[in-house]
A = this chain, B = another copy of it.
Amino acid sequence: MKPKMTLKKIASELGLSISTVSKALKDNKDISKENREKVQAFAKFYNYRPNSVALSLKNKRTKTIGVIIPEIVHHYFAKVISGIEEVANSKEYNVIIGVTNESYNKEIINMEMLIDGSIDGFIISLSKETLQKADYTHLQETINQSIPIVMFDRAVDEIPSDKIIIDDREAGRMAIQKLIDEGRKKILLLTTKDYLNIGRLRTEGYKDALAANRIPFDEDLVVRIGELGDSDEDQRILEERINKVFELHPDIDGIFGVNEIYAVTALNVARLRGLDVPEALSVIGFSDGILSKYARPHLTTVSQHGFQMGEIAAQTLINRLEQMDNGLETPYTTQVVKTDLIIRDSTLNQVVQKK
């Protein structure tokens, strides 16, 4: 069992001083070539690696990013982390993950646990509960302590920080426009409660598209779904709910679900009712998750580009961190990641001529 190598040990082993060894390892020309080589060979042999904790203490930077997300068992967030990891790794940053399970308290606890010097900055997507309470003091205080935050996806205007978002409203509009272009007239919207920005904005987009095409808005066709777990029971409830809408409105000819689960579930419910997709009914979902891809027929979706958002978020945070090191303070930016429609088999290929 090799003991951990330290400068001190190398120094005493080689009969040199600690600082000589330190400099020699940095190939500092101060040190005689002879000693430099000797030290470097020795260090290499014993696989010396400078202790990162000591470095962090000295440099007052940990080269570690804290990522706070609502949920890790979720294709989108996993993709984002992937993107963050990729960029962080290439810049020699580590990534610490904190999961809030959509809880305000856990969000605070998680952040406090890391705010003690463990990390240089945060990348965060707020929990649902936080959005509901609309209490962002913990974020503001973090920023006050000069710990930069990059918010992604679930960001809020109240907090001045860098943000990476998608244009949910435009994405929603685009999806609905696609359905309208196919000739769909009665489009069901499956969305979240309004306190979730993403649901609210996508709903706005839905209205935008209807308005632009002079289709009257019908509140009946908007289903705002509350919290659902991933139990089989909750899933059944969702199916029930959608089924009821179909009973009232059997002539629905388009569906837009603001997430994958809603869309796939609706797709399945519709097919069980004997509706042909996409002949009788087109379905569009949101997110480039795995469900959409394996659903039958393969689901047309608005892609969210999670990986890319992660990359951008990490890059943005690291840039800011490095600027802070140089005493710079640049204005906060909000970067909007473009979404696009991945056309698969749950929508029609040909576009109906508009009248």
State the A residues within 8 Å of B (CB). Answer: 1-2, 4, 47, 49-54, 56-57, 62, 64, 72-75, 78-79, 81-82, 85, 89, 92, 94-99, 109-110, 112-118, 141, 144-146, 230, 232, 235, 261, 264-265, 268, 271, 290-291, 293-296
Provide a sorted-by-A list of 26 A–B residue pairs whose CB atoms are within 8 angstroms: A1-B144, A2-B145, A4-B117, A49-B112, A50-B116, A52-B117, A53-B53, A53-B117, A57-B57, A64-B96, A72-B78, A73-B78, A73-B79, A74-B78, A85-B97, A85-B99, A89-B98, A94-B96, A94-B113, A95-B96, A96-B96, A96-B97, A264-B294, A268-B294, A291-B291, A294-B295
**CB nearest neighbor in B for A146:** B1
Tell me which residues across on chain B come within 8 A of A114, comparing CB atoms. 94
Measured CA separation A230–B53 after assembly (Å): 38
**CB nearest neighbor in B for A66:** B94
Q: Is B268 within 8 A of A117, CB to CB?
A: no
- Most chain B CB within 10 A, of A99, A114, A144, is at A99
Q: Is B51 within 8 A of A53, CB to CB?
A: no
Q: Is B54 within 8 A of A117, CB to CB?
A: yes
Q: Is A49 within 8 A of B95, CB to CB?
A: no
Measured CA separation A265–B298 after assembly (Å): 12
Tell me which residues across on chain B come within 8 A of A296, comparing CB atoms. 268, 271, 296
Q: Is B235 within 8 A of A118, CB to CB?
A: no
Tell me which residues across on chain B come within 8 A of A50, comparing CB atoms. 116
The distance from the CB of A111 to the nearest CB of chain B, in whole angstroms, is 11
The distance from the CB of A47 to the nearest CB of chain B, in whole angstroms, is 8
Tell me which residues across on chain B come within 8 A of A98, comparing CB atoms. 85, 89
Q: Is B293 within 8 A of A116, CB to CB?
A: no
Pairs of residues from A and B, 9 with the lowest C-beta to C-beta distance, nearest first:
A51-B117, A52-B116, A73-B78, A49-B116, A53-B56, A53-B117, A53-B57, A85-B99, A52-B117
